[in-house]
A and B are shown apart, each in its own frame.
Chain A
Amino acid sequence: SQQGEEDPQALSIQEGENATMNCSYKTSINNLQWYRQNSGRGLVHLILIRSNEREKHSGRLRVTLDTSKKSSSLLITASRAADTASYFCATDKRHGSRLTFGEGTQLTVNP
């Protein structure tokens, strides 16, 4: 079964708007990671947040983690057409162990 579940499954916005994607998980985690996948390509790591962290920033990305609710959100600010991709959250219990993925959010940014 999938550890992470993303919400929404699909999101369509205009360029310049912010995009927010949510992820929920079921069991305790070591860290939570977000990945991007462009159509027909492999996954690219975006950002990692540890279980003892609450918020992290990287460029236009902002990730929050609420371990009490077992949920995370990914915010992409000032979106661009090039941000169009699928976004996945993934969790592990320790580094090097199985990384469990959700089913992803398909983001479309319209120019």
Chain B
Amino acid sequence: DAGITQSPRYKITETGRQVTLMCHQTWSHSYMFWYRQDLGHGLRLIYYSAAADITDKGEVPDGYVVSRSKTENFPLTLESATRSQTSVYFCASSGDWTENYGYTFGSGTRLTVV
């Protein structure tokens, strides 16, 4: 996972609180993605970005906000956390020149909403 880091690694928050998950990559990859992984659902795309200031909704965007003011950072914010957002969140990136090497994933953030 060298080159793409997620923080925090673990987070417990209360229902209704705002929480931000951070993702940072050092390769200047154009494309960045946020997924959530839940038992029985595999990985589902929340938001993705093709470049700085360009973002688009994925499969399950409700309740989440993203921004990408710099190429290397792609934070994911839960505006008002709900228990259904308890999950493991993965950030991924890919570059224009790395198509043959797939997408690179971070180590994940395990979020628990109580």
Contact = CB atoms under 8 A, between A and B. Distances in A.
Interface string B15-58: 00000000000000011010100001111110010100000001
B42 A2 contact: yes
A44 B105 contact: yes
Contact of B107 (A33, A41, A48, A99): A41
Interface in A27-80: 31, 33, 35, 41-46, 48
Contacts of A103: 40-42
Contacts of B45: 98-100
A101 interface: yes
B105 A99 contact: no
Interface residues of A, number: 22
Interface residues of B, number: 29
Given A43-B90, A48-B102, A88-B42, A96 B50 contact: yes
Contacts of A48: 99-102
Nearest to B41: A103
Given A95-B94, A95-B99, A42 B105 contact: yes
Interface in A67-111: 88, 95-104
Contacts of A100: 45
A35 B33 CA distance: 16
Contact of B102 (A33, A41, A42, A97): A33
A43 B1 CA distance: 9
B71 interface: no
Interface of B: 1, 30-31, 33, 35, 40-45, 48, 50, 58-59, 90, 92, 94, 96, 99-108
Interface of A: 2, 31, 33, 35, 41-46, 48, 88, 95-104
